[in-house]
Copies of this chain bind each other. A is one copy, B any other.
Amino acid sequence: MAGSTFGNIFKITTWGESHGKGIGVVVDGCPAGLPLCEEDIQKFLDRRKPGQSRYTTQRKEEDTVEILSGVFEGKTTGTPISMVVFNKTQRSADYSEIAGYYRPGHADYTFDMKYGFRDYRGGGRSSGRETIGRVAAGAIAIKMLESMGISVAAYSKSIGGIEVKEMDWQERFNNPFYMPDAKAAKEVEEFAAKKMAEMNSMGGIIECVVKGMPAGAGEPCFEKLDANLAKAIMSIGAIKGFEIGSGFDASKATGLTNNDAFRMEDGRVVKETNHAGGVLGGISDGSDIIFRAAVKPTPSVAAMQHTVNKAGENIDVSIKGRHDPMIVPRAVVVVEAMTALVLVDALMTNMTARMDYLTDFYKNKK
């Protein structure tokens, strides 16, 4: 099926493989009149591009975005916005080796099982480069949210098991790990150096916080806001878990400790705590939305591993190339992008939740 389209009213379709001509996305359903230029997109792509530090892949790719449609005189027109990043560094590498076996932890085997053959150059469609389309589309959604006073911010909560202890929000832009705790970042640095020397890799946890979200977004039953966030985040390669609010800890809590009491504050209903993570019954409650995603260690490691080849023989392999010892820092902006896509779609949908919204809207339109 068509697995590369996401969203209902605000809908994106991504395309492209690691070593093809480029990677792109079509954003359809973006409202008209949003000021938009390539720089709005590029600043987000720059946060995921390779080669930002010694802790990510050393490949050099500028990942420069081009807007091909949907923007006129500096504003979105309401029609599809096509964006592309042409692959500049398609080197004529020899992939014959990798073509012949299944890399552990990768999608090589499952693509072969599903499609009968695969584009083995750098992972093809299952490569992390696929997230370029997500980030480019998410940049538009984030800009829309900003104009509604809603912010989305993710960061590394832990890497290799080393957790943020003291939150210092601004610090996350000061270290290569997007970690809002300089001391923890320093520890990660040492841990990473050790793992890299062992030709090994590490995982982590990304936390995302949405501020300024109005109550009411998300639909009962299957289109719950947290269900769609879970899908969006779990659809990012390497993500193995998702939890919102108190998450897995809720399984050990009691009703009395886990419930968030309501109280009045400045004439508004607020919650005394936020174990719910900003969503009740699948609908945003006006509090911050807070969730976490578990990122597995990069499967590509240079140390020797067991696997099988296409001839059906057990073999030992060492994955060569310039791989990320950790994906976490580059995935932070991908989490923000996917979050924004879900929020925008839910906010649009919510505009039709009440009959008076429709009558008010159309009463002056004739």
Contact = CB atoms under 8 A, between A and B. Distances in A.
A115 to B, nearest CB: 4
A349 B243 CA distance: 28
A240 B245 contact: yes
Copies of this chain per assembly: 4
A351 interface: yes
Interface in A311-366: 312-314, 347-359, 361-363, 365-366
Interface in A141-189: 144, 147-149, 158, 160-161
A111 B298 CA distance: 42
Contacts of A260: 104-105
Nearest to A110: B283
27 contacts: A4-B28, A4-B221, A8-B8, A10-B352, A14-B80, A15-B79, A22-B68, A22-B69, A32-B114, A32-B355, A33-B354, A105-B276, A109-B262, A110-B215, A148-B363, A200-B255, A201-B255, A203-B253, A203-B254, A227-B235, A229-B234, A242-B243, A248-B294, A250-B294, A255-B297, A267-B312, A351-B352
Nearest to A66: B21
A48 interface: no
Q: What is the size category of the interface that chain A forms with chain B? A: 35 or more
Contacts of A296: 246, 250-251, 253, 258, 275
A9 to B, nearest CB: 5
Given A72-B124, A231-B231, A366-B214, A117 B32 contact: yes
Given A104-B262, A294-B248, A2 B6 contact: no
